Amino acid sequence: MAVNMKGRNLATLHDLTLEEMQNIFSVCADLKQKYRTGEATPLLKGKTLAMIFQKPSTRTRVSFEAGMTHLGGHALYLGPNDLQLKRGETIADTARVLSRYVDGIMARVFAHQDILDLCEYSSVPVINGLSDLTHPCQVLADLFTIIEKRGELKGLKMAYMGDGNNMAHSLLVGCAKTGMHISVATPKGYEPKADIAGWARDDARPTGARVEVTTDPVTAVKDANVIYTDVWAGMGQENEHAERVKTFQPYQVNSALAAHAKKDYLFMHCLPAHRGEEVSAEIIDGPNSVVFDQAENRLHVQKAIMALLM
């Protein structure tokens, strides 16, 4: 563990240096190799992670809980009905109390401000498992997957199709920090937040990455090494689903759109996926798809994050 990250929080990728991201990837590769050969990695023996879930998840819960087990520690699932969070107790008080009991806190929340409040008042490391603004653990797993498949990030191009949501935000920053070009294509009115795009452009200056936000899916996908998409209507947007399906239809990742990318492009999706909406079945289930490698790498990259921070 070349860079000392003990005690740090992970709220957004903008908080990390390139060296720290590379350190996470290095530790992740080591932990994944040891997992596959059956070598024990009790780096967090006797330690406990509190997992706060305001919204449910398959990958986030299982990967963090299994990851803590692999590292010799224990994870506590705290769902919406298990805490007094924001009902009878402030986030500040919850953070202070949990800090007396556990060695780290992972939170999957709606409002990003909840992550920031946990970071401010907790005396143990806080990991953002997802907020409405960013999804840093997912993107670290995504970038690690690209490294596994292509050996590098710098100079490659990612095209992101769809909603300018938390995934788009974290991909913008993650690609910019690592020197990967990124083009985000969204319908007008669904662009990523301007301040997050600004973070990405700031992070791109030292690495030479190109950061583009466009409404033209073909322009974005042209010569891309990676095509990425996400659901068109996330949790809390169910009442917008029908309208979004009509608006986002030109951004569906299908064979016609993918034909503009490099022939050996990787298709990525953070899952869960809606076949026939944001992506056609022939793409997500086809030979260019690495979606289940991404899902597996959530486990290993989060183990690296926990081992480094806790």
- Please, where are the H alpha helices in the chain? 18-37, 59-70, 91-101, 112-121, 136-150, 166-178, 194-204, 217-221, 241-248, 255-258, 281-284, 291-309
**For residue 252, which of 287, 282, 286 has the smallest C-alpha distance?**
282
- Angle at which helices 166-178 and 194-204 pack, to 10 degrees? 10
Q: Which residue in the list 70, 169, 230, 300 is annotated as catalytic?
A: 230
Q: Which residue in the list 59, 70, 269, 298 is annotated as catalytic?
A: 298
| Active-site residue flag, 270 | yes
Q: Which long-range contacts (CB under 8 A, 24 or more apart) does 256-261 make?
A: 257/161, 257/217, 257/218, 257/221, 257/227, 258/221, 258/227, 258/283, 258/288, 260/218, 260/221, 260/222, 260/223, 260/224, 261/159, 261/221, 261/222, 261/223, 261/224, 261/225, 261/227
Q: Which residue in the list 59, 108, 169, 300 is annotated as catalytic?
A: 108
Contact between 241 and 233 under an 8 Å Cβ cutoff? The reply is yes
* Terminal Cα distance for the chain, rounded: 12
Give the number of C-alpha atoms closer than 13 A to the C-alpha of residue 187, restricted to the C-beta side. 14
Q: Which residue in the list 54, 138, 252, 294 is annotated as catalytic?
A: 138
Q: Which residue in the list 70, 135, 244, 300 is annotated as catalytic?
A: 135
| Active-site residue flag, 93 | no
Assigned token pair, 234? 């996330």
| Active-site residue flag, 61 | no
Please state, in angstroms and as integers, the Cα–Cα distance from residue 234 to each residue in 55, 238, 244, 271, following that order.
11, 7, 11, 11
**Using CA of residue 77, residue 297, residue 228, residue 126, what is the dihedral sign?**
positive
Q: Which residue in the list 28, 119, 137, 270 is annotated as catalytic?
A: 270
| Active-site residue flag, 150 | no
What are the catalytic residues? 108, 135, 138, 230, 270, 298
